[in-house]
A and B are shown apart, each in its own frame.
Chain A
Amino acid sequence: MFKIFNKPLKCSLFFSAHITNVKWSVYLLPLQSSFAWSSLLSGPIGSRSLHVTAVCCKNRAARIRVGKGEKPLTYEQAYHPHHIAHHKGWLSQHTSNLKGEDGAAERTIEDVFIRRFMFGTFHGCLADEIVIKRRGNLLIVCALMLQKLPPQKFYFLTGYSEVLLSHFYKCPVKLEIQTLQDKHVYKYI
């Protein structure tokens, strides 16, 4: 399975490949949010708290280390973050990073939640990273799945995820699924 989830839950590793340049990722949570998986230095409820994650140096982020030649890599995993916009595209597409737009942090948190949600709901079926696109109010989650479940189970999980995520984020969420027989290997490392 992916290398990405082998870090403990405490450090929040961002899966969308536009990792920032700084060594420490420190960000402030305005209120204690309902889905806090990371450790919080919590004060009384309603106060601001400082949230500090473990360090992940930029020369180790989203890179799978070379092995003996038996590790299969997908195209997404084979190219490192500095190849974004050269050999690979973005996994999460929204306009909050343009000049004058706000909400980038909220979008990123939503993306993290959606990726974990999809990973857990379609357990063992994901063939590659999820691509999240936002068009206006609409949130489109594009996933590449393996044909491990019969189609009616896929439809059950699709209907369930769409409704649950729509109610959660108060915006229409659509799932677009494509299925493959096996994961598509780009190279072996």
Chain B
Amino acid sequence: MHSLCGAFGWTPAVHQQAKESVILPRKKAWSKEAVLETLASTLNRDSTAYPYQFQDDPYLSPRTATEFKLYSLAQDSGRSAARYFVNNHPKFFTKDFAEPHIPCLMPETVSLLLEEVSEEALKERITLRKVTAAVDMYDQLLQTGTAVSMETTHELLDLICLYCDRNPVQEGEAGAEEEKEGRRMTSRRGADVPRLSWTENNNAERIFYLLPERDTRCYSAVIRGMVKHGAYAKAFSVYSDMLNNRTPGDVHIFNALISAAPEVRDGYSERWDLISELLNHMKQQEIHPNLLTFNSVLKSLRQCGSLARSYSPQTLNEMKALGIAPSLASYDHILAVFYKSVSSGPSNSDVLQNLMTELEGQSFTCVDPDDVLFFSSAMKVCLDNKDLELGYRVQSLVEVGENWRLLGDSVQLSIYYGRFFNLLCMMEDVDVVLRWYKQMVPSLYYPNAQGMKHLLQALDTDGRLDLLPDIWTDMKTLGLYNRADLLEQLLGLMAGEEHSPELQEAFAVCALDVKSVFEEKAGLEWSASSLSHVTTLLLRASKAQQAWDMLKLFKAHNRIPSEALLNSFLSVCQRDGASERAVELVQLSAAFCLTSTSGLASRALAEFDLNQEQRLVLAGLEAAAGPPSD
């Protein structure tokens, strides 16, 4: 275990640097509110704690973002395995000694009980979400001539349209082909659920057209299903059908159609015309818009180019006039509209400023699935404009109450904190950066290679290279040692200048560590600069033997050492009085066919006291390499 310290194993050097002597006061007077203040300080988030869903043990705690996801998914799959057993063998779990009764701990029915052709059987299949079985039952009922009530038909249509006429993947089973398709699609789109597409003449449409009378709910189910699964043009044709039959619409239909509008029209003004036409229809039918209506308008406006800038503030004003409070998703769409490209004008940074002033101190709940995208977009804007003040304001909004829940899943979380950390490293003093680093890593944010690079740059800018060995320990814990470019940057920073002897010792230890990493991990290629950096560090810390081994590695990996390196090696040899090694060094440089060979040879002849044999060899090399070219 590397430098285990405290609950987490993070290095102590990023804590207080100054080692003051402890002075015990004679008498300490506490303020009247000291106890209350201490108690209040325990209410904040504990930055040294493990995430609560994991066990409190160093072996079992995640250290990187991948481990976080792996362990939480493993725990969840264990739970679903247990639920599978409970639901499939309910006879062992029916004994009920809970007083009062706890319904969620009883086994659920997953298998069908009713087999005969009846409406109850159909309702059962609908509740159990068995799409294909429900459709079969419905067809059988129609064939036998039994009338099915309107309520049940509505629910059946809702079911088919929601699941796009396919059975939802149950826990514990997975159709093998569905999974393969899903995996291909997910790798392309990065969504959690495979996007199904609406097929021609599927059961929903068939049942829909067979119905003698179609009312609002039927139209609503079919239109929303079509929009959800990508059949946009068809949705509009069903809508015009609905208008012709003079069936009243409902708010969900219009929400779906507005969000589908950019897909059926090209050209910004046509899209806006369609949206305004739909809104007018809504007004004519006296259907009240809700929050999701306006959010879909804003979302569609994002695809309307320059028109968006004029119409989206108007949309916000409409919302306020109707008394509907905008949610974070609406603000996210506004930000996307106004900060579309990096080269937006300076006046646009006011939008986020004004927004943050308005949202200061408010707590939000999630009302729209797109709410979770707001914070990462806001932080992106701050990062692009290099506005640290604004970044702090966004972070303080996240810390209000329960707003941290709106940061989204682990991917969104890492994006948000990655951007925030990037902003801090660019703009802030290194002490403040380290304070945030201590607070956020790794309880909130597992830095990836990019984040680490920013941190190293920040340390370099402010000259705090003494923290590099501890940062290297953290990098090893985070599993970031697989990136050759990151290792090269680290080594370059360490080898840049001469430092105090203790620091050089620490750097040399790190360098040897990095060398062992290169050797252990297959697929990590040594580059010339990393090899020379490691050698330089070892030389500075007077580890001559190991430096000599490094030179052999140059040959093994086909890399050429630089002239400066060989010169400094020669100086070290001179300091140590190792004349044999000096001769070997010159021979090595001759083997590499370097131009500096003759210079090295003459230096060696001049500075070392060598015996006759060595002198001959060196003279030969000096001559063979020829006079140095101008």
A interface residues (Cβ-Cβ under 8 A, vs B): 34, 147, 151-164, 166-171, 175-179
Which of B70, B71, B82, B97 is in CB contact (< 8 Å) with A167? B82
CB–CB A170/B71 < 8 A: no
Which of B77, B85, B95 is in CB contact (< 8 Å) with A164? B85
Chain B residues in 8 Å Cβ range of A168: 92-93
12 contacts between A and B (CB under 8 A): A155-B72, A156-B74, A158-B78, A159-B77, A159-B81, A162-B82, A163-B83, A168-B92, A170-B97, A171-B98, A176-B56, A178-B56
Chain A residues in 8 Å Cβ range of B83: 163, 167
Quick one: given A167-B93, A167-B107, A168-B93, are A158 and B56 in contact (CB under 8 Å)?
no
CB–CB A155/B105 < 8 A: no
- Taken together as a complex, chains A and B put the C-alpha atoms of A106 and B85 apart, in Å, by 24
CB–CB B86/A167 < 8 A: yes
CB–CB B57/A179 < 8 A: yes
Min CB distance B109 to A, Å, is 14
Quick one: given A34-B95, A163-B83, A170-B105, are A151 and B59 in contact (CB under 8 Å)?
yes
Chain B residues in 8 Å Cβ range of A152: 70-71, 74
Which of B59, B75, B85, B102 is in CB contact (< 8 Å) with A158? B75
Instruction: Name the interface residues of B39-72: CB closer than 8 Å to any CB of A.
Output: 54-57, 59-60, 62, 67, 70-72
Chain A residues in 8 Å Cβ range of B246: none
CB–CB B57/A164 < 8 A: no
Shortest Cβ distance from A172 into B: residue: B105
Quick one: given A163-B86, A167-B93, A170-B105, are A155 and B60 in contact (CB under 8 Å)?
yes
Which of A154, A159, A162, A169 is in CB contact (< 8 Å) with B60? A154
Say whether B76 faces chain A, with CB atoms less than 8 Å apart.
Answer: yes
User: What are the nearest 7 A-B pairs in CB distance?
Assistant: A159-B78, A163-B82, A160-B78, A170-B98, A156-B78, A159-B75, A152-B74
Shortest Cβ distance from A171 into B: residue: B98
CB–CB B102/A170 < 8 A: yes
CB–CB B57/A178 < 8 A: yes
Which of B79, B93, B95, B105 is in CB contact (< 8 Å) with A160? B79
Min CB distance B53 to A, Å, is 9
Chain A residues in 8 Å Cβ range of B277: none
The digit string for B91-127, where 1 denotes a CB below 8 A from any CB of A, is 0110111100010011100000000000000000000
Min CB distance A125 to B, Å, is 12
Apart from A160-B81, A167-B105, A171-B105: 20 A-B pairs, beta carbons within 8 A:
A151-B60, A151-B67, A152-B71, A153-B74, A155-B55, A155-B75, A156-B74, A160-B82, A161-B82, A167-B106, A170-B96, A170-B97, A170-B102, A170-B105, A171-B102, A175-B55, A177-B57, A178-B55, A179-B59, A179-B60
Shortest Cβ distance from B93 into A: residue: A167
- Taken together as a complex, chains A and B put the C-alpha atoms of A42 and B178 apart, in Å, by 50
CB–CB A159/B74 < 8 A: yes
Chain A residues in 8 Å Cβ range of B105: 166-167, 170-171
Chain A residues in 8 Å Cβ range of B96: 170
Which of B59, B62, B78, B95 is in CB contact (< 8 Å) with A157? B78
Chain B residues in 8 Å Cβ range of A158: 55, 75, 78
Which of A153, A154, A155, A163 has the most chain B CB atoms closer than 10 A to its own CB?
A155
Chain A residues in 8 Å Cβ range of B75: 155-156, 158-159
Chain A residues in 8 Å Cβ range of B72: 155
Min CB distance B78 to A, Å, is 3
CB–CB B55/A156 < 8 A: no
Shortest Cβ distance from A159 into B: residue: B78
- Taken together as a complex, chains A and B put the C-alpha atoms of A151 and B62 apart, in Å, by 9
Which of A156, A171, A176 is in CB contact (< 8 Å) with B77? A156
Chain A residues in 8 Å Cβ range of B107: 167
Chain B residues in 8 Å Cβ range of A156: 74-75, 77-78, 81
Which of B55, B74, B97 is in CB contact (< 8 Å) with A177? B55
Shortest Cβ distance from A157 into B: residue: B78
- Taken together as a complex, chains A and B put the C-alpha atoms of A57 and B176 apart, in Å, by 58
- Taken together as a complex, chains A and B put the C-alpha atoms of A160 and B92 apart, in Å, by 16
- Taken together as a complex, chains A and B put the C-alpha atoms of A152 and B78 apart, in Å, by 10
CB–CB A155/B97 < 8 A: no
CB–CB A177/B86 < 8 A: no
- Taken together as a complex, chains A and B put the C-alpha atoms of A179 and B58 apart, in Å, by 8
Shortest Cβ distance from A106 into B: residue: B97
Which of B92, B98, B105 has the most chain A CB atoms closer than 10 A to its own CB?
B105
CB–CB A164/B82 < 8 A: yes
Instruction: Name the interface residues of B168-216: CB closer than 8 Å to any CB of A.
Output: none
- Taken together as a complex, chains A and B put the C-alpha atoms of A128 and B415 apart, in Å, by 43
CB–CB A155/B78 < 8 A: yes
Shortest Cβ distance from A165 into B: residue: B82
Quick one: given A164-B86, A176-B56, are A151 and B93 in contact (CB under 8 Å)?
no
Chain B residues in 8 Å Cβ range of A163: 78-79, 82-83, 86
The digit string for B561-602, where 1 denotes a CB below 8 A from any CB of A, is 000000000000000000000000000000000000000000
Chain A residues in 8 Å Cβ range of B67: 151
Shortest Cβ distance from B67 into A: residue: A151
CB–CB B82/A147 < 8 A: no
Shortest Cβ distance from A31 into B: residue: B95
Chain B residues in 8 Å Cβ range of A162: 79, 82
CB–CB A151/B71 < 8 A: yes
- Taken together as a complex, chains A and B put the C-alpha atoms of A170 and B60 apart, in Å, by 28
Shortest Cβ distance from A164 into B: residue: B82
Shortest Cβ distance from A147 into B: residue: B59
Chain B residues in 8 Å Cβ range of A161: 78, 82
- Taken together as a complex, chains A and B put the C-alpha atoms of A34 and B92 apart, in Å, by 7
- Taken together as a complex, chains A and B put the C-alpha atoms of A152 and B97 apart, in Å, by 33
Instruction: Name the interface residues of B335-389: CB closer than 8 Å to any CB of A.
Output: none
Shortest Cβ distance from B53 into A: residue: A155
Shortest Cβ distance from A175 into B: residue: B55
- Taken together as a complex, chains A and B put the C-alpha atoms of A170 and B97 apart, in Å, by 7
- Taken together as a complex, chains A and B put the C-alpha atoms of A43 and B572 apart, in Å, by 94
- Taken together as a complex, chains A and B put the C-alpha atoms of A151 and B79 apart, in Å, by 16
Chain B residues in 8 Å Cβ range of A179: 57, 59-60
CB–CB A159/B76 < 8 A: yes
Which of A151, A153, A161 has the most chain B CB atoms closer than 10 A to its own CB?
A151
Min CB distance A150 to B, Å, is 9
Chain B residues in 8 Å Cβ range of A160: 78-79, 81-82
Min CB distance A50 to B, Å, is 22
